[in-house]
Amino acid sequence: MPPAPAPARPTPPPALPLRRRGPRPAVLATALGVLALVVVASLAIGTRQVPLDVVWAAFANPDASDADQLVVRELRVPRALIGVMAGAAFGAVAALLQGATRNPLADPGLLGINAGASLAVVAAITFLGVASPFGFVWFAFGGAALAAAIVFAIGSAGSGASPARLALTGAAVMATATPLISLLLIRDVGTLSQYRFWSVGSLSGRGIETVAALWPFLVAGLLLAAWLSGRLNLLSLGDDVARGLGVRIGTTRIVTAVAVVVLAGTATSLAGPIALLGLAVAHAARGLVGADYRWITAVAAVLGGAVLLAADVLGRVVVAPAELEAGIVAAIIGAPVLIALVRRRGGASW
């Protein structure tokens, strides 16, 4: 009687590849090129059209008596820098949130983090008389941190976090913060005057001192995001696998929370609570470069700056000579992305 054949060795499950959608360096270089073009458009286009040669002369051969050059240097340069900074922060923080929570709907606006930061800033204006951007940022950080803690504590209780629970908890935080903001605004006309551009998000009304006050926080947040991006690739495989590969899960999540608070607080301090922008650019980045968070985070940051600044430029021309706030235009761009995401998933579980 022939010997029984040896049992077949089980085939190990295939590794989950980081799907590649395109040549990543080329995608990043193209995004940077688009950002540069949008910056030039932001300096030249507006209620007052400025020829490109005058834009160049404003830096290469400044003339204090030239009104067009003054518009470029004093008004449009700070506006362009604020748009790039805030958009980069919104894009990076959305990528971090989606990677850390494995939640396709994670966004500082949808999760109530922006609303918490805004409420803290309004309270600071009303009760403490804070009026400078450098003063705003501390309260924006505190409000963002508190809102994030509430959302993740409630959304993760019981059976653990799920995209639907986190989104619902974030909606509850927003629903609570919004009337409180309104209540504080109607009590004080001065607060309303300072806060009104925040209600929809805007890049106007700030000078270069705002950039000078907040750029260190942006750089710190982006450096943390870069450090975290490789670890998010491992977290996407599951906590047990990531732990087996040497990732310190608790440390990674704490650092992620710090990065989220810094970036969301900075972005909200710069431009107000602009919703859906981060969600849109993070999903666009994923479609362009695949599932590697090292590239998603970088491309989302660049696209965030380009899209927010493009929204600001578009808002200057669609209702000229008036202006449509960048937050409104960005929401018009981001809302279809959210709808498309829901339709693509259909009835599948989150």
Which residues, including other chains, have CB under 8 Å from residue 336's CB and lie 6 or more apart?
none
Mean pLDDT of 246-254: 77
Distance CA 195, CA 120 (A): 12
pLDDT of residue 257: 81
Q: Say which residues have a Cβ less than 8 Å from residue 255's Cβ, sequence separation at least 6.
A: 224, 227, 228
Q: Given the structure tokens 């800033």, which residue do they identify?
A: 121
Q: Is residue 163 situated within a structural domain?
A: yes
Q: Is residue 281 one of the residues assigned to a domain?
A: yes
Asked if residue 3 is part of any domain, the answer here is no
| Dihedral over Cα of 301, 305, 307, 308: its sign | positive
Planar angle of CA 231, 232, 237, nearest 5 degrees: 100
The answer, yes or no, to whether residue 98 has pLDDT greater than 90, is: no
Q: Tell whether omega for the bond before 321 is within 30 degrees of 0, i.e. cis.
A: yes
277-281: average pLDDT: 88
Q: What is the CATH number of the domain that holds 192?
A: 1.10.3470.10
Q: Is 63 part of any domain? A: yes
Which residues constitute the domain of residue 87? 24-200+210-344
pLDDT per residue over 30-53, tens digit each?
999 999 999 999 999 988 888 899
What pTM did the predictor assign? 0.83
* pLDDT number for residue 348: 45
Q: How far apart are CA 316 and CA 324, in angstroms?
A: 6
> 50-64, 99-113, 151-165: lowest mean pLDDT where?
151-165
Structural domain includes residue 149: yes
349 falls within a domain: no
Write down the pLDDT at residue 26: 92
87 has pLDDT over 70: yes
> Residue 57 and residue 55: Cα distance in Å, rounded?
5
- Residue 93 inside a domain? The answer is yes
Q: Is the pLDDT of residue 12 over 50?
A: no
Q: Examine residue 252 and state whether it is found in any structural domain, yes or no.
A: yes
Domain count across the chain = 1
